[in-house]
């Protein structure tokens, strides 16, 4: 398929309460640049056609002036206001991505995203219509009861840790969100779950990157700093 339009939706409207900081995690600095910058830069250098950036209402001007314009992220076609929950932010982003054939939905709290991961996501979604990057779990996982007693140990070879970007045919993911809104069933943790629940569509998991961590707690910033240096070193050798 040629002449397809691919839009990245970058979610940066969260507050990050577990960071123990008044500064939202997407604006904290790693190597003198905000966390949000790194994933925007990866999409800028990829083959996506444009970027929809979803932020809190108070942050629209800040993001435009201090991140998008300052670092020449030219593929950002719109900066829009997110919703009260992640899934409403995605819905707003989808409405602003009208005209796209495929969308890649990414959490700004994952700054170690690479162009390679983006390109492999694009290649796969054109085949399957729904894919996400992830990594096989390394640890044994326990399912526990209400008192935290172990009840089951699922076979590790069937367990993956899901990351972003999560990539979909635009018309399908938009339809799934419309069904979700109509049902008022919002017990949702990610976009693949919406596809499964409301369209009955399975999502293909492809290999992501163990460096593609989500910044949730203060120590994650230190780890991301190390991983970003590793990513930069790989890119510089290509």
Q: What is the pLDDT of residue 238?
A: 43
Give the span between the Cα atoms of 66 and 125, in whole angstroms. 32
**185-189, 194-198, 206-210, 215-219: range with lowest mean pLDDT:** 185-189
**5-14, 22-31, 103-112, 172-181: range with lowest mean pLDDT:** 22-31
The residue among 74, 83, 67, 85 whose CA lies nearest residue 26 is 67
The more confident residue out of 235 and 25 is: 25
What percent of the chain shows pLDDT beyond 90? 85
Q: What is the pLDDT of residue 160?
A: 97
pLDDT at 57 over 80: yes
How does residue 14 score in pLDDT terms, banded at 50, 70 and 90? confident
Write down the H helix ranges in the chain: 35-44, 60-63, 86-96, 115-128, 170-183, 191-199, 218-237
* Domains of the chain, CATH where assigned: 6-237 (3.90.550.10)
Q: What is the pLDDT of residue 24?
A: 86
Task: Find out whether 90 and 105 touch, Cβ atoms under 8 Å.
Answer: yes
Q: What is the pLDDT of residue 204?
A: 98
Give the span between the Cα atoms of 130 and 108, in whole angstroms. 20
φ, ψ of residue 191 to 5 degrees: the values are: -75, -30
The predicted-structure confidence for 103-120, as pLDDT tens digits, reads as follows: 999 999 999 999 999 999
How does residue 237 score in pLDDT terms, banded at 50, 70 and 90? very low
Q: What is the pLDDT of residue 212?
A: 97
Three-state secondary-structure class, residue 164: strand
Q: Which residues pair with 132 in a beta bridge?
A: 166, 205
Average pLDDT over every residue of 41-68:
97
pLDDT at 233 over 70: no
pLDDT at 133 over 70: yes
Q: What is the pTM of this model?
A: 0.93
**19-33, 53-67, 155-169: range with lowest mean pLDDT:** 19-33
């Amino acid at each position: 398929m040629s002449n397809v339009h691919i839009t990245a939706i970058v979610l940066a409207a969260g507050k990050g309460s577990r960071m123990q900081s008044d500064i939202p995690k997407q604006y904290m600095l790693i190597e003198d640049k905000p966390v949000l910058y790194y994933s925007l830069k990866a999409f800028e250098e990829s083959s996506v056609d444009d970027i929809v950036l979803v932020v809190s209402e108070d942050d629209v001007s800040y993001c435009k002036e201090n991140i998008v314009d300052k670092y020449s992220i030219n593929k950002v076609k719109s900066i829009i206001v997110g919703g009260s929950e992640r899934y409403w932010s995605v819905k707003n982003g989808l409405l602003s991505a009208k005209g796209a054939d495929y969308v890649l939905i990414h959490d700004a709290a994952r700054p170690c995203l690479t162009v390679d991961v983006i390109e492999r996501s694009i290649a796969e979604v054109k085949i399957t219509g729904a894919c996400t990057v992830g990594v096989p779990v390394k640890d044994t996982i326990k399912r526990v009861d209400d008192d935290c007693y172990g009840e089951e140990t699922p076979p590790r070879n069937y367990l993956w840790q899901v990351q972003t970007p999560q990539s979909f045919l635009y018309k399908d993911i938009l339809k799934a969100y419309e069904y979700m809104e109509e049902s008022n069933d919002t017990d949702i943790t990610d976009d693949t779950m919406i596809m499964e629940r409301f369209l009955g569509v399975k999502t293909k998991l492809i290999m992501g990157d163990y460096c593609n961590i989500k910044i949730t707690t203060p120590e994650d910033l230190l780890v991301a700093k190390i991983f970003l240096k590793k990513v930069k070193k790989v890119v510089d050798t290509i």
